[in-house]
């Protein structure tokens, strides 16, 4: 089966050949000086030819890269699916295992696809699609391998047009407030969509020109134009921990000012306002390790202002090149975890959601299904109307969009379900999806509001509002996903906490009133028959009892609310004083963190070096995956412990032979230049530095390291054995003395001997 040479390898070969030819020509002419003119001209022509070939290769380079990162992407890479070419190689290798014409047919198809891909890549039309090597260094190296090419013009044009259109969407505000889809009706949903599109962030280096019209014509939108200076673009899809990988790579990615970097993060563990790993960022950042999304918006610098009478022209230079589109679901444990340790109920809620993801099914899925059914059934207008009504209701699922201050885009899906209630509601809700069945959950639904508010107090985006009766309501705003959460701080102050008992009391009564104590609104339908539901919920006794209970609870609520308000007023001065003290303590903690960060060791560069070191360890070419390592896919790689790797190779100095693994490790160490002094973490002369030096030496020569360790272990054992023998001999002597004292029959001798023995032991 044919194995086409990867284009990046071909580029490297051409580049090396071109540089070598030019260097040889120049060096020969300068050194000899007596070369015949025809030979000089021939060498010159060859150098020019190679330079032209290099220019053609650069023109055909991929300026657009798609690099999935994260554990899932690495698993796919190990399985031989890390790139389009590797996937075809893997498929072709598997086809060879199939008998008869099946394998031949698949082999032919893979050959054809390889030729097509090679042709597209050769003319620069195929993006560089592959899984980078593990870790942030692998991501940085993959993005850094992009080169300007025929795709550059398309990137410049599309990004410039997109950002120019955004600047000229008429009558739409620029805002970083949360915008929600769908709205309350079709008109509101359309307006929200326009706002979302206008404020969708895509940071790109370049220049913008804004034309501000003078007063008197302010009804006309101020036009603008944007032109990017970037020539390359990298798109990095991530999932879960892949977001942390991208966050760690961001400082280096933001230095590549000729490249637009777009990170599309799903369930991002490094979301600043809820990522489970980002919660550690206040500590890790002291050591130079960013575990939360970076602000890639850069700086905006006004370089010229021209007032032309009726129009003012402002030219601004933009330096930002990195954007994170962060997408998750409310209460997700990985990416929307509680902001504080002081709310165990909120953590339990996220934990239940992690093991029961069924809560993500939208609460209005039945209405949406009915609208789709009517639309597909031929009732286009009626079905479309039902579908729009279902999607724009206030009680259904919502999607919150925020273009945050950190230059990133945070999208949060809220299904309308609370994970805590999922164990009680998932089965009735699932049955209700079946046509002809409807099972309400009056008991659990009665407590949904109070539990939702209590869970909301565990998130930093919680908002408190108070009604005319002085009753507070706590609700999440989904507007702080880009702000760093601090586990040691409570989102609710002590003063706000005074409102919680009253809120819980009223929420429980309101929940019972709207659900369990409103049997007339409950439904129990089985096989399109509501007889059982009518008998249970709508019989005279149930209705009368529910009505009486509602009246009593209403009177109780009306009587106790004024009392609760008075108690809150009496305690408020004390809680406000305590809140001020807590605020000062939090300020001191934040300041101490900054001071520690000024003296703490910067581990970022060492981390990147260690990452690159391990990426180059044998087997150092996993890009073809396990099938390639086993000999497929055209890979010449051998596993470190197979027969080939165990073959002995001579040392450069002619010393004792080394195994294939030892030689490969040594070559990797030489290639990466990794040593203890490069890490800049500890002094190499310190105890830690000396131990690290010994470890590095052991890596270079595992056999010597093992022998040295064995010798030291044997010496320690013999030393310890000698101590044990000496202790046993001394203990026997003490026992003999005590026996002699007892034989003397004199108690004083026994007491004296015991004291001496004890003193000797001590």
In DSSP notation, 300-366 reads: EEEEEEEE-SSEEEEEEEE---EEEEEEEETT-TTTS--S-TT-HHHHHHHHHHHH-GGGGS-TTHH
Locate 373 and state its tokens.
Answer: 């059914």
* 483, 485, 490, 491: CA torsion to nearest 10: 30
What is the share, in percent, of the chain residues with pLDDT greater than 90?
A: 45
The pLDDT of residue 680 is above 90 = no
Nearest to 178 by CA among 336, 413, 455: 413
The pLDDT of residue 34 is above 50 = no
What confidence tens digit (pLDDT) does each residue in 159-204 have?
999 999 998 988 898 999 999 988 888 888 889 999 999 999 999 9
In contact, 265 and 246? CB cutoff 8 Å: yes
Rounded-to-integer distance, Cα 432 and Cα 369, Å: 12
Rounded-to-integer distance, Cα 507 and Cα 505, Å: 6
Rounded-to-integer distance, Cα 245 and Cα 270, Å: 9
In contact, 632 and 90? CB cutoff 8 Å: yes
Nearest to 482 by CA among 249, 203, 268: 268
Rounded-to-integer distance, Cα 755 and Cα 762, Å: 11
Can you give the pLDDT at residue 149? Answer: 83
pTM of the model: 0.75
In contact, 663 and 640? CB cutoff 8 Å: no
In contact, 238 and 206? CB cutoff 8 Å: no
What confidence tens digit (pLDDT) does each residue in 429-488 have?
888 888 888 888 999 999 999 999 999 999 999 999 999 889 999 999 999 999 999 999
What confidence tens digit (pLDDT) does each residue in 384-405 have?
666 666 666 666 789 999 999 9
In contact, 433 and 365? CB cutoff 8 Å: yes
Can you give the pLDDT at residue 170? Answer: 85
Count Cβ atoms below 10 Å from residue 3 Cβ, excluding itself: 16
Report phi then psi at 181, rounded to 5: -120, 140
What confidence tens digit (pLDDT) does each residue in 151-166 have?
899 999 999 999 999 9
Model confidence at 698, in pLDDT bands (50, 70, 90)?
Answer: low
Pinpoint the alpha helices (H) of 168-229.
Answer: 186-199
């Amino acid at each position: 089966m044919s194995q086409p040479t990867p284009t990046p390898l071909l580029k490297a070969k051409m580049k090396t050949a071109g540089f070598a030819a030019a260097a040889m020509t120049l060096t020969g002419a300068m050194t000899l000086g007596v070369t015949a003119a025809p030979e000089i001209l021939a060498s010159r022509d060859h150098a020019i030819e190679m330079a032209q070939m290099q220019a053609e290769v650069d023109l055909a380079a991929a300026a657009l890269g798609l690099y999935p990162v994260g554990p899932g992407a690495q698993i796919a890479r190990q399985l031989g699916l890390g790139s389009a070419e590797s996937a075809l190689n893997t498929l072709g290798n598997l086809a060879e295992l199939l008998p008869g014409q099946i394998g031949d047919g698949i082999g032919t198809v893979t050959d054809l696809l390889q030729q097509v891909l090679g042709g597209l890549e050769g003319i620069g039309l195929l993006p560089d699609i592959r899984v980078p090597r593990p870790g942030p260094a692998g991501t940085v190296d993959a993005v850094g391998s992009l080169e300007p090419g025929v795709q550059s013009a398309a990137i410049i044009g599309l990004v410039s047009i997109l950002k120019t259109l955004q600047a000229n969407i008429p009558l739409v505000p620029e805002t970083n407030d949360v915008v929600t889809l769908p709205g309350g009706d079709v008109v509101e949903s359309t307006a929200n969509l326009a706002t979302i599109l206008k404020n969708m962030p895509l940071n790109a280096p370049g220049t913008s020109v804004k034309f501000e019209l003078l007063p008197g014509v302010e009804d006309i939108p101020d036009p603008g134009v944007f032109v990017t200076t970037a020539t390359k673009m990298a798109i990095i899809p991530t999932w879960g921990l892949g977001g942390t990988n991208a966050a760690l790579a961001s400082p280096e990615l933001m230095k590549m000012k000729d490249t637009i970097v777009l990170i599309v993060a799903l369930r991002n563990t490094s979301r600043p306002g809820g990522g489970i790993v980002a919660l550690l960022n206040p500590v890790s950042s002291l050591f130079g390790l960013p575990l939360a999304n970076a602000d890639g918006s850069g700086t905006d610098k006004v370089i010229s202002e021209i007032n032309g009478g009726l129009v003012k022209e402002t030219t601004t230079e933009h330096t930002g090149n990195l954007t994170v589109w962060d997408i998750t679901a409310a209460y997700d444990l990985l990416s929307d975890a509680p902001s504080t340790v002081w709310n165990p109920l909120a953590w339990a809620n996220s934990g239940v959601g992690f093991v029961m993801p069924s809560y993500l099914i939208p609460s209005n899925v039945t209405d949406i299904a009915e609208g789709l059914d009517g639309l597909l059934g031929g009732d286009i207008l009626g079905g479309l109307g039902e579908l729009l009504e279902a999607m724009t209701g206030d009680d259904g699922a919502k999607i919150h969009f925020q273009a945050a201050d950190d230059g990133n885009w945070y999208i949060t899906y809220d299904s309308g379900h609370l994970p805590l209630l999922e164990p009680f509601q998932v089965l009735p809700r699932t049955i209700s999806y079946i046509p002809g069945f409807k099972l309400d959950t009056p008991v659990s639904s009665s407590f949904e509001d109070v539990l939702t508010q209590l869970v909301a107090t565990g998130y930093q985006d919680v908002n408190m509002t108070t009604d005319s009766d002085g009753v507070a309501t706590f609700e999440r705003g989904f507007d702080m996903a880009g702000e760093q959460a601090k586990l040691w701080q409570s989102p609710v102050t002590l003063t706000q906490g005074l409102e919680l008992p009253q809120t819980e009391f009223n929420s429980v009564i309101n929940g019972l009133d709207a659900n369990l104590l409103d049997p007339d609104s409950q439904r129990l339908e089985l096989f399109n028959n509501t007889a059982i539901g009518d008998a249970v919920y709508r019989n005279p006794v149930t209705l009368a009892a529910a009505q009486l209970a509602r009246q009593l609870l209403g009177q109780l609520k009306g009587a106790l609310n004024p009392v609760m308000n008075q108690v809150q007023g009496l305690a408020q001065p004390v809680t406000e004083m305590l809140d001020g003290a807590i605020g000062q303590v939090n300020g001191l903690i934040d300041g101490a963190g900054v001071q520690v960060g000024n003296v703490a060791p910067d581990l970022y560069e060492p981390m990147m070096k260690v990452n690159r070191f391990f990426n180059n360890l044998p087997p150092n070419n996993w890009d073809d995956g396990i099938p390639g390592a086993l000999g497929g896919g055209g890979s010449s790689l051998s596993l470190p412990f197979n027969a080939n790797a165990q073959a002995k190779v001579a040392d450069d100095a002619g010393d004792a032979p080394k195994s294939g693994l030892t030689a490969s490790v040594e070559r990797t160490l030489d290639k990466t230049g990794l040593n203890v002094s490069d890490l800049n973490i500890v002094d190499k002369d310190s105890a830690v530095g000396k131990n690290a030096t010994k470890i590095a030496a052991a890596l270079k020569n595992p056999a010597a390291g093992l022998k040295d360790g064995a010798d030291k272990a044997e010496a320690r054992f013999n030393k310890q054995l000698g101590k044990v023998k000496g202790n046993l001999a001394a203990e026997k002597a003490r026992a003999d003395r005590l026996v002699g004292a007892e034989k003397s029959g004199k108690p004083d001798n026994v007491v004296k001997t015991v004291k001496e023995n004890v003193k000797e032991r001590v």
